[in-house]
Structure 1
């Protein structure tokens, strides 16, 4: 992956603080109730489960799920294909390198501005083509389409990715139904937002890092979308910033579990009843690490704003509406060129009290 940027060593603001508390950490939630053959649709049956998820979203912004219904063979297949792809020579992987013209595909941080991140990545979208705004300019009404780039090898990668995406999408939408119930909303309240979704998956590979004290796999950040469903291997490395005291908590890998976190979109929809939380990925000096996040995102034309059912005179809207498509287009293009404005955040739409 190349040398660690010398400027990084001199930058105390971004230099990783490697201390993290080793505790059980984020809640572990059993979803067998909604995935067993004998599950029922009566919402009252789910009250305990709904409360568990609601409390996890409120207190942590993160939780793990087991007995989630995603077939283990689908996960194993995509993980095996990802390992084969990342083992290819660099020149082969770069044949499908993403750029400003095609934001999907492969990239490695050696040739990006994110020199502090020690990883390589392959992105693909769930719906192909995915319709998005042509530019982040509010005055520009043109649309464009995102298409996936697939490598020649391994030949099974595409099918493995597409099958896994369908499995994890189903889980994500089930979770959105439970989150809706936890907010006192109908179970299908969020469904319409994802009919023309802009969701995508990412295959992450973190090679062994010779100077792990000087780099991160991914620096601290919050996810901009609605919900993230993460599969990580047994090496681990994910750390979550605990809301109560700001301490970084290392998430211990649980076999065949998924790690779930709410994103900025849910923070706005819920008018901050649930908040997205900072997290980061650590690197390892001896072992490579793999992870697969699925980012559930709404349709590009979605106007993201606090839901009317959750605001009133005592709890007024905390955010102005913003266009999700313009938001994600701005985020994607900022990976390839310096824009005239800073990287967009939901704080830009926060209503001053």
Structure 2
């Protein structure tokens, strides 16, 4: 059993106020900006990713996590890429979770050589589903980022998306499996509270609850799962680029009950050399920058030295 660093948590109530953004609807850009300012979290529909593709990758993911433990551990231990079990990062964080973290490179994407131990046709089938899914969900991320620019009334419209689409962008795909925890009295910490360091995160999970987000007042609310939609959250880098106008949402995952949870998250990050600072286009007259300029490499290096719940942006504030 995993050793808990905190007492068991009580699941929060489902929250009905999560914005739903239809990417095909007129006016969706303004709604999206409002969601980023208030919650830093929203749901998108009409995203254009075929449900067959989503279901195929979920099936391949379930198949992988159903392998015997010794076979999964043949994949290189996450450092940071590869298979990980219970241990999250290198600074003592643990959770009721196992995961597969894959680097996304420009050609091919994602880099799945760590799956080479799987027997054919399993490896080929898994990698094919991964490649197609990443390309599709990256298009969703870019569409959302361009709508953000539209809603903010700034040009060029690709001011955010071009960073994610850069050939050297530091983006990753994370597949999480939260096993059921039968017999445990309460809710197990699946993944402790944190913010995402990247620009944008695009999440899809199976029909099992567990994801919770923190509201501005610090209270926690539970997110009702939706298998046909994607959930999007603002990352630390986008909070910096908007000078704090957009909110990098703090979130966590609880594991409980008799059902396991599987999630697939695309993290769109900037290139290592990218310099992050508030965009002058978004700065009002006399407005002061809340953050000093830094590179993504500098920020990521700093973030990897912290615990999940630490304030990662604190040392970069003016």
TM-score, scaled to structure 2 = 0.88
Correspondence for 1:22? 14
1:304 equivalent to 2:281? Answer: no
Change (3 A) 1:97 1:301: same
CA distance in 1, matches of 2:152, 2:87: 43
Correspondence for 1:176? 145
Tell me by how many angstroms 1:311 deviates.
2.2
1:109 equivalent to 2:79? Answer: no
Residue segments in structure 1 that go unaligned for 5+ positions in a row? 34-45, 131-145
Change (3 A) 1:326 1:344: farther
Q: How does 1:158-237 map to 2 (within 5 A)?
A: 158-186=127-155, 187-194=157-164, 195=166, 196-209=168-181, 210-211=183-184, 213=186, 215-237=188-210
Q: Which structure's residues are more often strand, by fraction?
A: 2
1:242 equivalent to 2:208? Answer: no
Describe the SS at the equivalent of 1:65. Answer: strand
Change (3 A) 1:303 1:149: same
Q: How does 1:140-159 map to 2 (within 5 A)?
A: 148-150=113-115, 151-153=117-119, 154-155=122-123, 156-159=125-128
1:92 equivalent to 2:71? Answer: yes
CA distance in 2, matches of 1:178, 1:114: 38
Residue segments in structure 2 that go unaligned for 5+ positions in a row? none
Tell me by how many angstroms 1:211 deviates.
2.6
- The more displaced of 52-61 and 177-186 is 177-186
Tell me by how many angstroms 1:4 deviates.
3.3
CA distance in 1, matches of 2:20, 2:271: 30
Cα-to-partner distance string for 1:305-330 (whole Å, 9 max, x where unaligned): 11111224531100001110232244
Q: Of residues 269, 272, 286 in structure 1, which corresponds to 2:244?
A: 272
Tell me by how many angstroms 1:286 deviates.
1.0
Q: Of residues 238, 262, 265 in structure 1, which corresponds to 2:234?
A: 262
- Pair member with larger Rg: 1
TM-score, scaled to structure 1 = 0.80
Tell me by how many angstroms 1:149 deviates.
1.5
Correspondence for 1:73? 52
Change (3 A) 1:271 1:182: same
CA distance in 2, matches of 1:191, 1:252: 28
Change (3 A) 1:89 1:350: same
1:346 equivalent to 2:313? Answer: yes
Verify the 8 A CA contact 2:208 2:225 in the aligned structure 1.
yes
